[in-house]
Every structure is written in structure tokens, then in C-alpha cells.
Structure 1
Amino acid sequence: MNQILSEQEWQSALDAFRVKEKEHTRIRDALNAERRRLPMTQISKTYNFTGPNDKVSLLDLFEGRKQLIVYHFMFAESPCTGCSMMVDNMGHIAHIHARNTSLVLVSLAPYSKLAAYQERMGWDTPWYSSEGSDFNRDFGATREDGEMFGVSVFIRDNDTIYRSYHTTQRGAEYLGSNFSYLDLTPMGRQELWEDSPEWVSQTPPYQWWCKHDEYGGD
């Protein structure tokens, strides 16, 4: 057991610790601001995926939105337990869509396996197979020692696609809420308090929030 204190002593200890938590938040905000300004690289190679509507392209995965977040789900032979926990903790996708961003899962396994497991788990997040393409290897999800999980972020200018960010290991471990996924993107949460590039349109915080069944057009 940890040390037991009186209520007043406990509150004093909590207040002292809160100072460190606030500093951590400010450091994280500054890191997110720097991430939003990272350079990008153009994607010139063509990739094809298999989904519920047969073959689609990387551009199709955007579904007309400006940004795309890909979670590289480890499923070469069988579904990864850790990746399954990650998807269990993803927020409702409507909140991601509300910020002009799409979120999809991509795995090496044949689409039939993905669809069966998705039904079993009750997930709504779109899931695509990269079987037969170089996508997994080109984006760090397949290595010499096997398949690897991670997150890749893309942004498009009309039909031209750029990759802006990638993380794996502990960098992906903390992700859970929709906010944390949006924080990985060049446009962020698109709220006025954020330190973002000048080209990012922003709105007041909270005002874009809706219950997931109240968003229009998605």
C-alpha cells in the first residue's frame, strides 16, 4: 500500500502533483503543434486494397475527406490480440469524420478473414486487405522479422496524396480517444486554441461536438 495521509495532506500532495501533470499537458500540446508542421512526402506509387466493395485505391480510402488515418492491424495469419484491444478502444468513427478525416484498418490477411473477424468483434471501422500489394512493406507494417502494427497519416490535395506521419510501438500504445488520433494529423482537432499552420481552418472548441447519431451527411 502507498502512504496513507489525512484528507488535507492528501489534497496538498495531489495539488503538487497536478503542477507536473499540467506541465506534461503543455509539453504534449507543443509536441502536437510541432507534429502538425512536419514535412510531408508525396505518394506516387499505386496501391490496391480489397474491401466490401471489391478493389479500391489508396485515394478511395479517404472517402472524399481531406485526411486519412490508417491503423496497420497485424493479421497475417491470425488476429493480433493487442491490435484487437486498440480497435476496441477507438471512439465512434463519426467524430473522426466530423473533422474531415477518415480512419480505416489495413491488414495483410485476405479480406474474407477480416470480414469474418470484424463481424465477430462487432466493429464498424472500415477494414481493408492489402494482400497482393506492397503497401504493408512500403509503410513499415511488414519487416524481415514479421508483421508490425502502427499508425500512418495521409493528407491529400485533390488526387495527390502525401504521407505526414507514422508511429508504432509505444507511440501507438496511448491512442484511444478520437482526440488522440486527430492529434496525429496535420490539421489536428481544428479548434481555435490549437497552434496550427495558417492553412488549417479552425472552429471554436466544443461547438463541433455531437452525439454520434446527430452528425449530418455522414
Structure 2
Amino acid sequence: MKTPPIVTPQEWEAARERLLVKEKEITRARDALAAERRRMPWLAVEKRYEFIGPEGRASLLDLFEGRRQLIVYRAFFEPGVHGWPDHACDGCSLVADQVAHVAHLNARDTTLAFASRAPQPDIARVKARMGWSMPWYTMTDEFDVDFGVDEWHGTNAFIRDGDSVFRTYFINNRGDEAMGGTWSYLDITALGRQEEWEDSPEGYPQTPPYEWWNWHDAYGDAELSQERLAEVAAAGTVTDRPSGGRGTAGCC
């Protein structure tokens, strides 16, 4: 193994600063790309799809769980796939292992769900074994064919207006590698992170960064949420978010 040169602390810091310039360029480019996603046209989903979940039959609209946005990852866990019946495929399992606590997505009016062709008892068993908590449904029709995930994994984003559902974005292949974190999921949605620093169309929902962030077990607890807001207010506000500015609390 041919290693890089060994340098002094000053030389190491100078090398890091040179790379940091490029990293910030990538961050700003990623923000600009997400802004373009929020301006993507919407595709009406007019066909009725049916899934089976822990509570029985469910429509695509049901998968939203009452929220405005839905992200569906097509995971390969079913007869004929490597790992069956003890595991989902290696790659889809790696994706599932990386999923952050879904409460943070839910706080942004967004639901994440997985979908496979495995029966619910098998899904429940593997979720328990692997410690996965995201909603996971059984496909029963052509959903995977119609949305480009019948032969390969992929992530579809949807939004609803009342009972009308629209497809807003789709990624697959290496695009799925970045998924798992709350921010990566929100960045592919039509509404984005919904924070004030984002470049979004007029009228899109936005709130100050940090103020909506919470412990995953406190979003539904009014007392804890108010305590969190008070702490944020006392610490000060975040400025210049896209450029990597820091709040007075010194985090992020």
C-alpha cells in the first residue's frame, strides 16, 4: 500500500483548507440541485394501487398516513431474491440499516415507507430481527413496474393535494447510496427541508432552521417541545446557513 506523504500539522491543515473549498462548492451545488427538484413538474398518479400492511389492505393514499408527502423505497425481499426468507437482499438491507429515525421526517409532514413483495408475516419477522422500524408494505399489483422498481431498487417521492396523489421525483442506482439520512430524504421531496434559507418557490412552507429540530421522542410532547424551543431561543438564531455559518450555540 503506497501511502500519502506524512506532513506537519500546518501542512495538513493547509491541505484540508484546499479541499474544503471544493467541498463547499459541492454543498452549494447540491443545494442548487435540490432547489431545481422543488421546481420539477408533478405527475398525477391516477391508477389505484393496493398494498397490504400490518393493519390490512391499504391504498397508496393510505401510505401517506395523513401527511402531505410520501417517500417509498422499493426493497427486494421476496421469494427468488438472495437471502430469502431470512434476509432481504444485501444492498436493500444496507439501505434499511442506514435509515435515520423516521420521527424527524414525520415532523416535516413526510412519511417514509418500504415496499416489497414478501408477505407481512415475513416482513414483520425480518424487521424484528434486524431492528428496523420504518413502515413496510407488501405490493400486490403493478406498482413496482409502473414506477421503475420492478427489476432494481429505487426511491420514489410523492405529494398529495387532498385525495389527489402526484409523483414528484425518483432516484435509483447510486442515487440510493445517499439515502438514509433525514436531510437526504427531504432534499428529494417537492417541499424540501422546508427551512427559510432554502431557495423554494413562493408560498412553500418554511420555518427557521433549528427551531423545528427535536429529540425523536419529543415531537409529540408539547412540554418537551416548548422546552426545546426555549433552549433554541436562548442560544440564538442560525445565520448564513447555506454558507456553513454557525449559530451562537456553536453547533453545525
Report the TM range for the smaller structure's normalisation.
Answer: over 0.9
Alignment of 1:105 onto 2:121:
no
Q: Which residue of 2 aligns with 1:46?
A: 48
Q: Which residue of 1 aligns with 2:149?
A: 141
Secondary structure in structure 2 of the residue aligned to 1:15: helix
Secondary structure in structure 2 of the residue aligned to 1:208: coil
Residue in structure 1 matching 2:178, options 174, 177, 185:
174
Residue in structure 1 matching 2:96, options 80, 87, 92:
87
Q: What is the TM-score with the length of structure 2 in the denominator?
A: 0.82
**Map 1:1-218 → 2, pairs under 5 A:** 1-77=3-79, 78=84, 79-130=88-139, 132-142=140-150, 147-216=151-220
State the shift of 1:74 in Å. Answer: 1.1
Structure 2 CA distance for aligned equivalents of residues 6 and 107 of structure 1:
52
Q: Which residue of 1 aligns with 2:228?
A: none
State the shift of 1:76 in Å. Answer: 2.8
Identical pairs, percent: 51
Q: What number of residue pairs does the alignment pair up? A: 213
Contact kept, 8 Å, 1:73 with 1:105, in 2: the verdict is yes
- Letter paired with 2:220: G
Structure 1 CA distance for aligned equivalents of residues 157 and 203 of structure 2:
18
Structure 1 CA distance for aligned equivalents of residues 111 and 21 of structure 2:
36
Contact kept, 8 Å, 1:150 with 1:169, in 2: the verdict is yes
Which of the two has higher C-alpha Rg? 2
Query: What root-mean-square deviation, in Å, do the aligned CA atoms of Structure 1 and Structure 2 show?
Result: 1.3
- Letter paired with 2:133: D
- Letter paired with 2:57: K
- Letter paired with 1:28: R
State the shift of 1:120 in Å. Answer: 1.1
State the shift of 1:45 in Å. Answer: 0.4
Q: What is the TM-score with the length of structure 1 in the denominator?
A: 0.95
- Letter paired with 1:15: E
Secondary structure in structure 2 of the residue aligned to 1:151: strand
1:80-102 Cα deviation digits (max 9, x unpaired): 11111111111101000000000
State the shift of 1:141 in Å. Answer: 1.1
Structure 2 CA distance for aligned equivalents of residues 110 and 118 of structure 1:
12
The structure richer in strand per residue is 1
- Letter paired with 2:15: A
For CA contacts below 8 A with separation 6 or more, give which structure has more relative contact order: 1
